[in-house]
Amino acid sequence: ATEAEEKDLVIIGGGVAGYVAAIKAGQEGMKVTCIEKRGTLGGTCLNVGCIPSKALLNNSHLYHQILHDTKGRGIEVGDVKLNLEQMMKAKDTAVSGLTKGIEFLFKKNGVEYIKGTAAFTGEHEVKVNLSEGGEQTVRGKNILIATGSEATPFPGLEVDEKRIITSTGAIALDKVPETMVVIGGGIIGLEMGSVWSRLGTKVTVVEFLGQIGGPGMDAEISKAAQKTLKKQGIEFKLNTKVLGGDTSGEKIKLDVEAAKGGKKETLDAEVVLVAIGRRPYTAGLGLENIGLETDDKGRLVIDSEYRTKIPHIRVIGDCTFGPMLAHKAEEEGVAAVEYIKKGYGHVNYGAIPSVMYTHPEVAWVGQNEQEVKDSGVKYKVGTFPFSANSRAKTNLDSEGLVKMIADAETDRILGVHIIGPNAGELIAEGTLAIEYGASSEDIGRTSHAHPTLSEAFKEAAMATYGKAIHY
């Protein structure tokens, strides 16, 4: 084993949090090492998360649209066939192109990349079990933990990624199952449920709560999302809990029970997708060797500058507090390096957008109506339906609405909630508005190009303080 010089920064984990921090540190002239055990950079997001799921969402949508939504547009197609193997290859090409791109960025910014598994052996030292064999000790003035998260298992259902799958299996099935039960109607359940439903699977989503979409989604928008997804063929069982399953037969049998009233039934499924959330991943990191502990949810505890109780060891991304989102991890990667290098950094946790990439997409930023209500602030709501937006109508894609919540006294925008075409792109304007403390009148008096979907955003803003023009 060779002993390296002490680096300015050693990063454990090459996911979005870790790789962004590494590039930023390189740009700041720091000597930086990033250790990743997966074999490729980009973490969950690039390898088995955001990127592959969006590749499948995009192409399954195209397939579904060609099957069901061309005639009225004056396009006659025949003999449409699914080539699942090629769809998976297209996904793999997107993934490998992007992960290799990060390796290139590491080289460009002078980041040392070590392939292996890191564990703390001291407060300034980690031992790396190298992927190629052997060990290496790496020392750092500062150490950043960015080890991410993993799927929360469902007790009693053993994941084999073939029949009982997590999202990792759901992006890699080699045939279209006839039936799939999804446990958990959050973002993963609805995105991956949409993919397989479009490709021909009969999908049933079992959700413990009374609404879909996971934490944060506005109740009104969630209802609208459920309605459209139902129209697309996805079945929902809300307020329902899964008691357990039997995998011994050809079909998996899941026992479910109504959360209230206790009515029981058994669901048959070829494949069961477990999508009940993710939990921080810190296994094998040797935290006990340096006395670092996690909270009851497995999160590493930090202060507002990402420091653990050992101040030169910081934590960012999915393995600590906050929403488990790639762009949140990315912001923290930049801010953590700035704290180390300059003594200050900044992430506005009140302006982190969420996007669900179903069709139509659902996107939001800031507080939802219930949260505003609970805060006691007086508020007003403006909505505008895409059915009254010229571009959405032109595109024959006009399901959904924009809902804007503004402070009744100051007119400051508190939350933006969109279900509709390209909601994920449209929400950027809402995020910027919240970041800059814009009022709804600021938006309503800003010229938006015609004909674009963004006019729905402007008109929802107008509706909070006056009236929309086109509705």
Active site residues: 450
Contacts of 405 (CB under 8 A, 6+ apart): 366, 367, 368, 369, 372, 379, 380, 381, 413, 414, 415, 416, 417, 464
* Binding-residue pattern over the window 142 to 181 for ligand FAD, x denoting contact by CB under 6 A: ----xxxx-----------------x--------------
Asked if residue 188 binds ligand NAD (CB under 6 A), the reply is: yes
Per-residue contact flags (x/-) with ligand NAD for residues 227 to 256, judged by CB under 6 A: --------------xx--------------
Binding-site member from 281, 357, 379, 384 for ligand NAD (CB under 6 A):
357
* Tokens encoding 265: 């039934």
Should residue 318 be labelled a site residue for ligand FAD when binding is judged by CB under 6 A?
A: yes
Query: Which secondary-structure segment (H or E) carries 206?
Result: strand 202-206
Question: Tell me, what amino acid is at 164?
Answer: I
| 180 interacts with ligand NAD by CB under 6 A | no
- Minimum CB separation from ligand NAD for residue 438, in Å? 24
Does residue 240 belong to the site contacting ligand FAD (CB under 6 A)?
A: no
183 binds, among ligand NAD, ligand FAD, none (CB under 5 to 8 A by kind): ligand NAD
Helix (H, G, I), strand (E, B) or coil at 397: coil
- What are the angstrom distances between the C-alpha of 274 and each of 200, 355, 448? 19, 20, 42
- CB neighbour list of residue 5: distance below 8 Å, 6 or more residues apart: 31, 139
Residues 170-229 that bind ligand FAD (CB under 6 A): 188
d(CA 47, CA 325) in angstroms, rounded, equals 14
Across 261-341, the runs of DSSP E, i.e. the strands, are: 264-269, 271-274, 278-280, 313-315
CA distance 6 to 136: 13
Fill in the per-residue mask, 398 to 437: x = in contact with ligand NAD (CB under 6 A), - = not in contact: ----------------------------------------
Name which of 119 and 408 has its Cβ closer to ligand FAD.
119
Q: How far is the CB of 150 from ligand NAD (least distance, A)?
A: 10
Among 22, 30, 45, 273, binds ligand FAD (CB under 6 A): 45
Binding test (CB under 6 A) with ligand NAD, winner from 55, 171, 275, 468: 275
- Whole-angstrom distance, CA of residue 264 vs CA of residue 53: 33
Choose among ligand NAD, ligand FAD, none what residue 186 binds, the Cβ cut-off being 5 to 8 Å by kind: ligand NAD
DSSP label of 153:
P
Establish if 245 lies at the interface with ligand FAD (CB under 6 A).
no
* Interface positions, 365-394, toward ligand FAD (CB under 6 A): none
**Residues 11/147, Cβ–Cβ less than 8 Å:** no
